Structure 1
């Protein structure tokens, strides 16, 4: 199962437990566009981070003639800030991803969440899973993503960010990118990958996967995975751990036995509050341990 289908499947849990037909749920939630994916599970589960004390909003960075929107959140009036790149799921930079950026900003970071699908389209306006896979995800090459992130890093350095303290974190599709970009850019000092795919087919757009860079990865990456994630088999997690052990990065993987995919996504039925909170605590501690704060 690819990242796209896995994210869609994780939306099914609550609907099925409530007695709603699986096909009807998919038709309702996904058939009218992926904006439906951002609906909350329940109001009490959705974390809302305000902008008090922050400078927050969308900026634009030009990359090879393309304007790339980037959600930026940072402590107001501060400079020389540690930087964290926040990489979205397949659903793009919606409110949850912006909220995660604000959470990091409250911890003292310059947090930047770029729209990495801007050239291919808007995931929230795609009519179906098949269309999203065909028209956006499969046509967003890793090389393009890396170039955009390189430009975001350069902007951060020129706009109040500390170039010696740059980290990356991402969710699902963004979790895979976290591993790969940490290997791509030596400026990355640490990363936190949330349930990103580790293996997969290779082609011109996706020439490598995390398992392929594990042995040479230098930046330490913390991987946070759910043991019940049906889209990321445990044998691939074990293989990644074995490959990491042979390399110099001292990366680690934490496996949550009671969680499946997208357990951090508090706006979705997949959310597991205890593990999400533990993962967030571990993420902040990991970045502090590796001097990215």
Structure 2
């Protein structure tokens, strides 16, 4: 299927931007999927996922959470983030959040390169205070896709998020009462106070070895069940965090293939329930 894909602006006075892909030559509005980034930003992996979802027959849109005021700070520029990711891929995952181990590994690099990577990592892993702003951006994206963008206006909107974006997908399910469905790829569960506010079906996809995230899933599932919410999930044996990201050493083909199949089936159920059946 031929696609149209490009960066676009949205929100009040076009203050936000994102990467949008949609099927070419389709006249009628299509359901929309918000693709929520990992901490690495709307990099080539997220852009590729956005195009893959668009190929399935949706308007797919990845808000660039690092470009809240049109510009991306130099410290979070794509080439800087890519270099920081390559550095992390070269050390054990257990050292990612260990400041001393990270400092030791950075010291082995040329001074200027090590300093630049340290600055970028500091920004990437210190996003907690920016979460309210991220939620504002994705709420604006949801409203724009549902009510403002001519190629999805009047259709349902769902979200699919990865890692940090997975956590945001769960939060959006609680903040946007019109959201049709939310997919969480290895993202932290929403806080307990948000669970009663979740108003759409949720799909969770997790790696068995990603203990920090996956160990909280049974309690999350029970809390959703007790609150009368719809939640299905799959934990993939032997899979790490970020098993879906084919640019990372953690990528696992079998888990990724199954997870994408489940995601497309979930989107079909939640976004196209009102469409006429094909006979």
Normalised to the residue count of structure 2, the TM-score between the two structures is 0.75
CA distance in 2 between partners of 1:135 and 1:288 (Å)? 33
Matching residue within 5, 9, 19 for 1:71 = 19
CA drift at 1:288: 1.4
> Match for residue 4 of structure 2?
55
Residue 143 (structure 1) aligned with residue 132 (structure 2)? yes
Residue 228 (structure 1) aligned with residue 206 (structure 2)? no
Residue 178 (structure 1) aligned with residue 169 (structure 2)? yes
Unaligned runs of 5+ in 1: 1-51, 199-208
Please identify which structure carries the higher helix content: 2
Do the aligned partners of 1:72 and 1:101 also contact (CA within 8 Å) in 2?
yes
Which one has a bigger Cα radius of gyration? Answer: 2
> Superposition pairs for residues 86-125 of structure 1, below 5 Å?
86-119=35-68, 121=73, 122=76, 124=78, 125=80
> Match for residue 221 of structure 2?
241
> Match for residue 190 of structure 1?
181
CA distance in 2 between partners of 1:273 and 1:90 (Å)? 22
> Match for residue 30 of structure 2?
81
Do the aligned partners of 2:206 and 2:214 also contact (CA within 8 Å) in 1?
no
Unaligned runs of 5+ in 2: 82-115, 274-279
Residues 240 and 59 of structure 1: is their aligned pair in 2 closer, same or farther, counting only changes over 3 Å? Answer: same
Do the aligned partners of 2:18 and 2:61 also contact (CA within 8 Å) in 1?
yes
Asked which structure has the greater RCO (Cα within 8 Å, sep 6+), the reply is 1
Superimposed CA distance per residue, residues 246-275 of structure 1 (whole angstroms, 9 cap, x where no aligned partner): 123211221112211000001111001000
What SS does the aligned partner of 1:170 have? strand
Do the aligned partners of 1:54 and 1:106 also contact (CA within 8 Å) in 2?
yes
CA distance in 1 between partners of 2:251 and 2:227 (Å)? 32
CA distance in 2 between partners of 1:252 and 1:212 (Å)? 20
CA drift at 1:211: 4.2
What SS does the aligned partner of 1:241 have? helix
> Superposition pairs for residues 196-235 of structure 1, below 5 Å?
196-198=187-189, 209-234=190-215
> Match for residue 168 of structure 1?
159
Do the aligned partners of 1:166 and 1:292 also contact (CA within 8 Å) in 2?
no
RMSD: 2.2
Tell me the number of residue pairs that the alignment of Structure 1 and Structure 2 aligns: 230
Matching residue within 264, 269, 276 for 1:289 = 269
